[in-house]
């Protein structure tokens, strides 16, 4: 089992190895939908902010190590709180964005290097997210080095407007992030019959990021600064349409690189 918290600066607390060992994950896997009703009929469902309890045992061989591990855990959690950033709680490759807002201790005893920590986790997006990434290269690229996702993911190579595809493994329409890399002018990627066109110029070393979850479009400059490119999107249609389930065709000019991450969002983590 994989279970760890990763904060917004990529620091981790592994909850499956000493000195931190989770006690019970049952409530972590539970979920509840809220519903609205009118005239004794259900009219809709929604999720809201929810809290999740999680109990963790902490162990140490010496007093010095015990204090060190307590402080390390605290700093990882507290960094996100003080910066109002969301961390990620990962469970077997899927994650939920959240913060740890409470840590109540049990079984404290002077000289005993063991304690139960009752953590309280809060999230305003109570969904478990699995990422399905695809990497597309222009037909002019011959290198087989996967620089953006080293050693993890397979390629989908471009050959102009031919039959490339992606697979959305979810049973419902899915959000996605599309990253387009310069140099390119007015890039367009077609996915599942939907055209994602942005009228913008990208220089070498710049990229465009389209995120359907937040409905944002940003140009990322070489120095990492962001420019809002929302106004450059194709007009006259709903631009942020999600990707339908199953196999979806992909086409583009083949003259630029892009990455696509399809998000599988679930109320509970997928088993197995």
What are the tokens at 121?
A: 């986790």
Instruction: Name the residue with tokens 């679930």.
Output: 266
- Model confidence, pTM: 0.86
**Res 257: pLDDT:** 93
Neighbours of 29 (CB within 10 A): 13
List % helix, strand, coil for the chain (3-state, nearest 5). 10, 50, 40
Domain ranges of the chain: 3-129, 137-266
The bridge status of strand 226-228 relative to strand 216-220 is antiparallel
**Res 85: pLDDT:** 97
Q: What does the pLDDT profile of the chain (272 residues) look like in tens digits? A: 999 999 999 999 999 998 999 998 999 999 999 999 999 999 999 989 999 999 999 988 888 888 899 999 999 999 999 999 999 999 999 999 999 999 998 766 656 677 889 999 999 999 999 999 999 988 754 333 444 544 444 445 444 445 588 999 999 999 999 999 999 999 999 999 999 999 999 999 999 999 999 999 999 999 999 999 999 999 999 999 999 999 999 999 989 999 999 999 999 998 86
What does the alpha-carbon distance between residue 156 and residue 165 come to, in Å, rounded to a whole number? Answer: 8
DSSP code at position 102: E
**Res 163: pLDDT:** 55
**Res 60: pLDDT:** 84
Instruction: Name the residue with tokens 């989770």.
Output: 22
Answer whether CATH 2.60.120 is correct for domain 137-266.
yes
Cite the DSSP H helix spans in the chain: 63-82
DSSP tally for the chain: helices H, then strands E: 1, 23
Three-state secondary structure call for residue 66:
helix
CATH number for 3-129: choose from 3.40.50.300, 3.90.1720.10, 3.40.640.10, 2.40.30.200: 2.40.30.200
What does the alpha-carbon distance between residue 185 and residue 117 come to, in Å, rounded to a whole number? Answer: 54
Phi, psi of 84 (to 5 degrees): 50, 45
**Res 115: pLDDT:** 82
CB contact at 8 A, 131 and 263: yes
Three-state secondary structure call for residue 77:
helix
Instruction: Name the residue with tokens 């006259």.
Output: 236
Most distant pair of Cα atoms in the chain: their distance: 70
**Res 106: pLDDT:** 78
Neighbours of 13 (CB within 10 A): 23
The predicted-structure confidence for 45-96, as pLDDT tens digits, reads as follows 998 999 999 999 998 888 888 889 999 999 999 999 999 999 999 999 999 9
Three-state secondary structure call for residue 221:
coil
What does the alpha-carbon distance between residue 119 and residue 104 come to, in Å, rounded to a whole number? Answer: 7
What does the alpha-carbon distance between residue 104 and residue 114 come to, in Å, rounded to a whole number? Answer: 14
């Amino acid at each position: 089992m994989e279970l760890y918290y990763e904060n917004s600066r990529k620091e981790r607390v592994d909850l499956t190895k000493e000195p931190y060992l989770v006690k019970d994950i049952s409530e972590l896997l539970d979920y509840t939908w809220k519903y609205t009703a009118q005239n004794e009929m259900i009219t809709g469902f929604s999720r809201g902010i929810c809290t999740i309890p999680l109990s963790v045992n902490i162990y140490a061989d010496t007093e010095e190590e015990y204090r060190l591990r307590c402080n390390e855990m605290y700093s990882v959690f507290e960094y996100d709180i003080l910066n109002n950033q969301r961390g990620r709680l990962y469970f077997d490759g899927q994650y939920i964005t959240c913060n740890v807002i409470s840590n109540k201790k049990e079984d404290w005893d002077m000289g005993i290097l063991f304690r139960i920590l009752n953590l309280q986790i809060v999230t305003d997006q109570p969904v478990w997210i699995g990422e399905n990434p695809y990497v597309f290269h222009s037909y002019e690229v011959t290198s087989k080095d996967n620089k953006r996702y080293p050693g993890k993911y397979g390629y989908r190579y471009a050959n102009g407007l031919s039959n490339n595809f992606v697979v959305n493994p979810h049973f419902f329409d899915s959000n996605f992030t599309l990253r387009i890399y310069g140099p390119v002018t007015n890039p367009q990627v077609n996915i599942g019959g939907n055209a994602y066109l942005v009228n913008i110029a990208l220089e070498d070393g710049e990229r465009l990021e389209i995120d359907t979850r937040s409905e944002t479009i940003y140009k990322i400059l070489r120095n990492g600064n962001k420019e809002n490119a929302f106004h450059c999107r194709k007009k006259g249609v709903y631009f942020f349409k999600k990707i339908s389930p199953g196999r979806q065709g992909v086409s583009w000019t083949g003259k630029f690189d892009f990455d696509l991450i399809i998000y599988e969002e679930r109320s509970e983590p997928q088993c197995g």
